[in-house]
Structure 1
Amino acid sequence: MNGNSTRPQANPPPSGIYVPVPTFFAQESHPSYNPTTPPLDLQTQSAHSLFLVRGGIKGLVLLGSTGEAIFTSDSERTELIASQRKTLDDAGYKDRPIIAGTATQRIDEAVEMIKQSKEAGAEFAMVLGPGYFAPSTGQTGIQKWFEAVADQAVLPVMIYHYPGVTNNLYIAPSTFEKLAAHPNIVGTKLSHGIIDDQTLIAASPKIDHSHFSVFTGLGQNLLPVLAIGGVAAIDGLAGIFPRLVVRLFNLFNESLEKGISKEDMRAMRDLQFRICEGEKLVARWGVVGVKEACARVWGMGGKGGGRLPLAGGFEEGEGEWKKWEGIFSGLRELEERFKAEGKEG
């Protein structure tokens, strides 16, 4: 299978809701501002990280797709990870892991990024599939590519399956069954809505699910994915309303423990509906929408997206936010109500 079959079995990240954190960049008032590559805004980054973990988020995914990993330099990656590890540790959240993303086609480069991420303070690596030659790439090639990375990686590896940013690269459930047997591959983030494939992975009797965790990358699928054996979500809307998504996760697990009642199911469906309403913005606008909402709802960061070509925010301008304003005002009220109840965080 691979050259590392005697390697000790690594453990997956702790179960819970994780956030693919946006990378915040400085605004025009910053003395070193550059319109094409604005510098990191670590003050806002840290404020956002603490906002999330105080809202019950189990850990942070830095430098994934939402984190604009492809627009950051190696030195910025190190600075970002190290700063957030220190922020969490200093605030008493040493138990909240950081998962660092990679987005490269080269095995050696992915391995080096993982090494740098560990040195900066990350505990896990989330590795995006190699999609440049996706139409010509067979399942055997995909399997061997991930195994080669995992063989050499100094952190436990999670497979990041996001066809939307990998030229529609397809990783079959049967390939996941093989990859899950690797001692250094500990889970996956599935950022697609193919529920039957998610079921064939999350419920597969051929996978040891104590060592391989399935996370949905779509909060709008959280309840169905939990029902089929998924662990939780790495979710964009949770970066804006952490308690909302954590509440659904907790309610499912608490009701499963005591026996799910009709009232529990109704409450879970209501929460999933509200999450789906908000996720429509994330699905449409991605990182641009997440940053816009963080700025407008909570005053964190600036409106207008990230680095080019994402700078500029909504193409339709102010009128676009008005389409979402009512939904997000309602979600903010719900988030603040959950905060007042004090069950998360």
Structure 2
Amino acid sequence: MASNGSTSKASPPPQGIYVPSPTFFVAEGSASYNQTSPPLDLETQSKHSLFLVEGGVKGLVLLGSTGEAIFIKPEERVQLLKSQRKTLDDAGFKDRPIIAGTATQNIDDTLQLIQESKDAGAEYAMVLSPGYFAPATSQTGIKNWFTAVADQSVIPVMIYHYPGVTNNLYIAPATFEKLAAHPNIVGTKLSHGIIDDQALIAASPNIDHEHFYVFTGLGQNLLPVLAIGGVAAIDGLAGVFPRVVVRLFDLFNESLAKGMGKNDIAEMRLLQFRICEGEKLVARWGVVGMKEACDRVWGLGSRTGGRLPLAGGFEEGDQEWSKWSKVFDGLKELEEKFKSEGSRH
């Protein structure tokens, strides 16, 4: 919903755990494989999407950094979004929104991607901050850039703040306070570990937190971010172990509602510890690590199924995975335990 001069505020996405889904490509050796630009593997994409929502994930973030958006052709964006919206709808998950990433520097290009994403079935746009000229970009420039996008966007906008891929562009909490007042800006994904800045946004009395949601992009920060006012996470590890991450989110909210006790805190701390162990792989290897884990743990996709320069998976193969296998075997057991206990969703 674009603002178009209206003072009505767009609604943020439902609170819960979201996954920045990897984009799956056909594996090396298949008939349609092309080393330079392997085609999309929409069958695996759909299997993974259903695996996530059946595990309690509230919605999907497609074509973000983990989705290798910078390698995806325009027509492929449309195919991917349409296919996953149809997959969710056909399986009875019409209530699970799709958030589409945009990673452009130009406002007009960003607006075009947003329009195409809406037409393909996305309900929200996660807009990456423009970091090419980061050292020379002022906070006023950032505010005006996002305001121009939000003024014209046909769907609600979330600010994607990821200094690691935007030339270390910094968005100050005071800038977030100003942008959070925009009727068509409904939240942010904070993919950094600056916990004091996260608190200055998520706990700010100058922000309407019914309209503007703070998601951490790091599952290893989920419990502390919930404690300071964040609503949840858009988290990579949840792409492999959705029930594990969702369980921590549920435990926090359930214990908060009934009155949090020492046993609740101890259980949440232990679960956060287990999540942090697994997140080390995501922090080190990003989408390469996620695809490796999806393949090795669940047989989903191909660990070598990427586009250059990310094609090929772990360079050291089994030797590298052996560093992570004990932690991931334990998380798999935990995921299966939670599944056997029955879904709350």
* Both proteins in one fold, TM over 0.5: yes
Matches of residues 197-276 of structure 1 in structure 2 within 5 Å? Answer: 197-276=197-276
Counterpart code for 1:11: S
Bigger mean CA deviation after superposition, 313-322 or 151-160:
313-322
TM-superposed CA distance for 1:8, in Å, is 2.4
Counterpart code for 1:44: T
Question: Counterpart in 2 of 1:19?
Answer: 19
TM-superposed CA distance for 1:4, in Å, is 5.2
- CA–CA distance in 2 between the matches of 1:30 and 1:87? 23
Residue 324 of structure 2 is aligned to residue 335 of structure 1: no
Residue 48 of structure 2 is aligned to residue 37 of structure 1: no
- CA–CA distance in 2 between the matches of 1:66 and 1:274? 22
Counterpart code for 2:105: Q
8 Å CA contact 1:69, 1:103 repeated in 2: yes
Matches of residues 105-120 of structure 1 in structure 2 within 5 Å? Answer: 105-120=105-120
Question: Counterpart in 1 of 2:311?
Answer: 311
Q: Percent identity?
A: 76
Residues 304 and 344 (structure 1 numbering): CA distance in 2 closer, same or farther, change over 3 Å?
A: farther
1:71-96 alpha-carbon deviations (Å, 9 max, x no partner)? 00110000000000000000000000
Question: Counterpart in 2 of 1:280?
Answer: 280
- CA–CA distance in 1 between the matches of 2:55 and 2:193? 26
TM-superposed CA distance for 1:314, in Å, is 1.4
Question: Counterpart in 2 of 1:57?
Answer: 57
Runs of at least 4 residues off by over 4 Å: none
8 Å CA contact 1:18, 1:234 repeated in 2: yes
- CA–CA distance in 2 between the matches of 1:323 and 1:158? 36
8 Å CA contact 1:125, 1:158 repeated in 2: yes
Counterpart code for 2:85: R
1:212-240 alpha-carbon deviations (Å, 9 max, x no partner)? 00000000000000000000000000000
TM-superposed CA distance for 1:304, in Å, is 2.0
Question: Counterpart in 2 of 1:298?
Answer: 298
8 Å CA contact 2:24, 2:305 repeated in 1: no
1:237-264 alpha-carbon deviations (Å, 9 max, x no partner)? 0000000000000000000000001000
Counterpart code for 1:103: A
TM-superposed CA distance for 1:305, in Å, is 5.0
Counterpart code for 1:66: T
Matches of residues 176-195 of structure 1 in structure 2 within 5 Å? Answer: 176-195=176-195
TM-superposed CA distance for 1:5, in Å, is 4.9
Q: Which runs of 5+ in 1 are unaligned?
A: none
- CA–CA distance in 1 between the matches of 2:28 and 2:290? 20
TM-superposed CA distance for 1:36, in Å, is 1.2
Matches of residues 28-107 of structure 1 in structure 2 within 5 Å? Answer: 28-107=28-107
8 Å CA contact 2:63, 2:77 repeated in 1: yes
Counterpart code for 1:22: P
TM-superposed CA distance for 1:315, in Å, is 2.6
TM-superposed CA distance for 1:313, in Å, is 1.2
TM-superposed CA distance for 1:28, in Å, is 2.3
- CA–CA distance in 1 between the matches of 2:93 and 2:4? 33
Residues 135 and 305 (structure 1 numbering): CA distance in 2 closer, same or farther, change over 3 Å?
A: farther
- CA–CA distance in 2 between the matches of 1:317 and 1:333? 23
Q: Which runs of 5+ in 2 are unaligned?
A: none
CA RMSD of aligned residues (A): 1.0
- CA–CA distance in 2 between the matches of 1:100 and 1:35? 26
Counterpart code for 1:258: K
TM-superposed CA distance for 1:306, in Å, is 1.4
What secondary structure does 2:300 align onto?
A: coil
What secondary structure does 1:87 align onto?
A: helix
1:253-278 alpha-carbon deviations (Å, 9 max, x no partner)? 00000000100000000000000000
